[in-house]
Amino acid sequence: MTALLTILLAFLQIGSSPQNTRCFLCHGKKDFGVMEDGKFQSLYVSPKQFSASIHGKFTCVQCHTDVKVIPHFIRPQKVSCLQCHFEGNTVGAPVKWMPEKYKDSIHAKALAEGNPNAPDCETCHTTHYVKSPSDSTSQTNRRNIPDLCGRCHIKQFESYSKSIHYKALENGMLGAAVCTDCHQEHDVLPPSDPRSALSAEGVVRTCAKCHADTLLMARADVPVQQPEAYSESFHGIALENGMVKAANCTSCHGHHDILPASDPNSPINPKNLPKTCGKCHPHADKNVAKGKVHIIPSERSAGIVFYVYTFFKWFTLAVLVFLFAHIALDLSGFIRRKHARHE
C-alpha cells in the first residue's frame, strides 16, 4: 500500500520540470534499490547530504537528462560530468582544473581498456555528495588526498606515509606535497610521457613549484636554493640540453618515501650516498659524501668552487677585454697606415 501511494503521489506531481522532491519520494528511502546479479544495489540518495553538496542547488534531471517522466521505468544512462565540466564553459561549472584532460590520463585509458578498478569522476568526487576541495570533509581536500589515492595505490601510500612530506602534512602543514602536487589532478600521465609532470624534464619543474617558493620553504625551515643550484650543476645543464638520463631530483631523493638526509634510511644520508651515486657512477666511494651537494657557484657558501668560479669569470672577462682592445688597436693602425699611403 505504501509503495502504491508513493507512486501515485509521484504521478500527481509530474510537471514540465520534475523537482528533486519527487525524485526523493523513492530515492530518499534508505531501503530503496534493485537486485542485480543476486545482490541488492542501493539507489538511496540522502536528501540532506545532497542539499549540502555543491550540486545541491540543481535538480536531478539537470544531470540525468534522459529522465523525462517520474516515476521512470527505464534505467538512466551513466551521467557524463563533462556535459557541464568542460574547458570554456562559463555557466557555473568550475573549469580551471580542465577536467577534459582526464580523457588523456592513464586512469581514463585503463577504464577504456575495461579495468573495473580504474577511477572515474565519481571515484574521487563521489556521485551525489560532491564537495568543494576547500571543504575539510571533502575527499579531494588536500588533507584527505593521500587517503583517497591510497585506496587503490596501497604500496605507494605505505611508502609516502613514511616520508617527510606526509609527516609535515600530519603536523598541520597543508602546503606539504600530496599526490596531486606531483602527479597532477586530472591529467595523470606516466613518467615515460614527456607531457607528464614526472617525466625526466618535468620532475625538476614539479619539485621547484614548492622548493623554490620562499614563503613555503621558510615555514618548513628548508633551504630554498636547491632548484637554482641544481639548474647550475652538471646534472641540470645536461638535462637542460636533452640528456634525459642525467640525474634529477628523484634519482637521488627517491619517489614516494622521501626522507631527510639525517635519516639513516634516506638515499642521501652520507652513509648511503656511495650507493645512490653508484647507480650512475659505478666507481663512487665514500668521497662523494664530502662537501656540499646543492651549491650555487656565485655564492661564498660554495667554498672553493666560489673562488674557482670567480677566478674564471674575471679571467674570461679580462681575456675578452684584451682581445677587443687588441682588435681595436689593430684596426686603428690599419686605418692610419691606409691614410698614410694615400698622402
Residues 289-328: pLDDT tens digits?
A: 787 888 888 888 878 888 898 999 999 999 999 999 999 9
Q: Is the dihedral of CA 30, 33, 35, 41 positive or negative?
A: negative
What is d(CA 143, CA 147) in angstroms, rounded to the nearest whole number? 8
> What residues have CB less than 8 Å from 254, skipping those under 6 apart?
266, 267
What's the total number of domains in the chain?
A: 1
In a domain, 121, yes or no: no
In a domain, 161, yes or no: no
What is the span of the domain harbouring residue 11?
1-79
What is d(CA 148, CA 137) in angstroms, rounded to the nearest whole number? 12
**Cα-trace Rg, the chain:** 31
Q: Which among 58, 110, 114 is positioned nearest to 84, based on CA atoms?
A: 58
Q: Phi and psi (nearest 5°) for 136?
A: -65, -20
In a domain, 48, yes or no: yes
Question: How many separate helices (H) and strands (E) can be counted in the chain?
Answer: 16, 2
In a domain, 30, yes or no: yes
What is d(CA 4, CA 309) in angstroms, rounded to the nearest whole number? 88
Amino acid 2: pLDDT = 46
Residues 39-63: pLDDT tens digits?
A: 999 999 999 999 999 999 999 999 9
What is d(CA 142, CA 159) in angstroms, rounded to the nearest whole number? 18
Mean pLDDT, rounded, for 115-136:
94
In a domain, 284, yes or no: no
Cβ distance 194 to 171 under 8 Å? no
Mean pLDDT, rounded, for 183-191:
93
In a domain, 27, yes or no: yes
All three cell numbers of 152, joined, read 587503490
Mean pLDDT, rounded, for 7-25:
60
pLDDT above 80 (res 92)? no
In a domain, 61, yes or no: yes
In a domain, 26, yes or no: yes
Residues 220-242: pLDDT tens digits?
A: 889 898 999 999 899 999 999 99
Q: Which among 82, 84, 80, 100 is positioned nearest to 92, based on CA atoms?
A: 84
What is d(CA 114, CA 112) in angstroms, rounded to the nearest whole number? 5
Q: Half-sphere exposure of 252 toward its Cβ, with a 13 Å CA cutoff?
A: 22
> What residues have CB less than 8 Å from 20, skipping those under 6 apart?
47, 50, 59, 60
Amino acid 343: pLDDT = 65
Tell me how far apart the 2 most distant CA atoms of the chain are, in Å.
126
pLDDT band at 153 (very low <50, low <70, confident <90, very high): very high
What is d(CA 250, CA 4) in angstroms, rounded to the nearest whole number? 63
pTM: 0.79
